[in-house]
Amino acid sequence: MKYTIDNKEYEVIITKKNNKNTYIRVKEDMKIYVTTSHFTTKIGIKKLIDNNIEAIKKMIQEQTKKNKKNEYFNYLGISYEVFIDEVDDIKFLDDAIFVPSEEYLNKWLKNKIKTLFKERLDYNYNRYEESIPYPKLKIRTMKTRWGVCNIRDNSVTLNTKLIEYDIEKLDYVIIHELSHFIHFNHSKLFWNQVEKYKPNYKQIRKELKD
């Protein structure tokens, strides 16, 4: 089934199940997916789409934005357009990145995160005049936190998504977590400690929240 919205034709994928309600979604492939009961006719489905056209247009806009975002690769504060090309290794050219495959890019990024995060941890740790333990570095993807300090096992966990931001923001998160080895709270003394090694921490915190 085809349906035209704003002079553009969309394919409608119909799935019939034993349910009373009808659900309409627009997925990554930009097709309109309709899940409905076995008793809904094609005419009925078209009428449902007609009645929900504004909501569907909004779904199309949102999915278009998501798809466009997925075409870009954010690395150290710069957004690169990704091109799959016949190259032997990753190649950066202005605001573009050329890679042999998406799998190759993901593997390269994973290794880069390990190497860079370790380098910045060592760099910032060596700046500390205070006596703090050298932490074990853990790296994982987190939804709500940029970093975690665990004083029980002397570890610092960093969010993989920090690779998308510039070095200054990565350093701030590391300094934040290292400072918890001195003040395991968010008291004034703690923030004074952070400020000692990252004077502009307030601006960085604001940018990470935006």
Closest of 24, 17, 14, 30 to residue 49, by C-alpha: 24
Highest mean pLDDT among 50-59, 70-79, 174-183: 174-183
* Final residue belonging to a domain, choices 100, 117, 150: 100
Angle between the N-to-C axes of helices 201-209 and 188-197, in degrees from 0 to 180, rounded to the nearest 10 = 100
At residue 196, the pLDDT reads 98
* Final residue belonging to a domain, choices 100, 119, 141: 100
> Do residues 59 and 108 both lie within one domain?
no
> Do residues 112 and 16 both lie within one domain?
no
User: What average pLDDT does the chain have?
Assistant: 92
> Do the Cβ atoms of 42 and 35 come closer than 8 Å?
no
> Do residues 47 and 123 both lie within one domain?
no
> Do residues 156 and 176 both lie within one domain?
yes
CATH of the domain at 129: 3.30.2010.10
Please say if the pLDDT value at position 153 is more than 80: yes
Instruction: Please compute the mean of the pLDDT values over residues 173-185 and round it to a whole number.
Output: 97
Highest mean pLDDT among 38-47, 58-67, 103-112: 103-112
In which band, very low, low, confident or very high, does the pLDDT at 151 lie, cut at 50, 70 and 90?
Answer: very high
SS3 call for 12: strand
* pTM of the predicted model over 0.75: no
> Do residues 76 and 55 both lie within one domain?
no
Domain that holds residue 56: 2-70
> Do residues 89 and 158 both lie within one domain?
no
SS3 call for 59: helix
In which band, very low, low, confident or very high, does the pLDDT at 190 lie, cut at 50, 70 and 90?
Answer: very high
Please say if the pLDDT value at position 210 is more than 80: no
Considering its fold, how many domains does the chain have in total?
A: 3
Dig out the tokens for 157 from the structure: 């966990």
φ, ψ dihedrals at 99, nearest 5°: -135, 150
> Do residues 155 and 198 both lie within one domain?
yes
In which band, very low, low, confident or very high, does the pLDDT at 68 lie, cut at 50, 70 and 90?
Answer: low
> Do residues 51 and 144 both lie within one domain?
no
At residue 57, the pLDDT reads 94
Please say if the pLDDT value at position 45 is more than 70: yes
> Do residues 86 and 145 both lie within one domain?
no
Please say if the pLDDT value at position 69 is more than 60: no
Contacts of 24 by beta carbon, 8 Å cutoff, 6+ apart: 32, 33, 34, 35, 48, 49, 52, 55, 56, 59
> Do residues 95 and 116 both lie within one domain?
no
Please say if the pLDDT value at position 18 is more than 60: yes
At residue 125, the pLDDT reads 98
> Do residues 45 and 79 both lie within one domain?
no
At residue 182, the pLDDT reads 97
In which band, very low, low, confident or very high, does the pLDDT at 83 lie, cut at 50, 70 and 90?
Answer: confident
Helix extents (H) in the chain: 42-51, 53-70, 102-125, 167-179, 188-197, 201-209
> Do residues 166 and 138 both lie within one domain?
yes
* Final residue belonging to a domain, choices 70, 89, 120: 70
Please say if the pLDDT value at position 119 is more than 70: yes
Q: What is the 3-state secondary structure (H, E, C) of 150-179?
A: ECCCCEEEEEHHHHHCCHHHHHHHHHHHHH
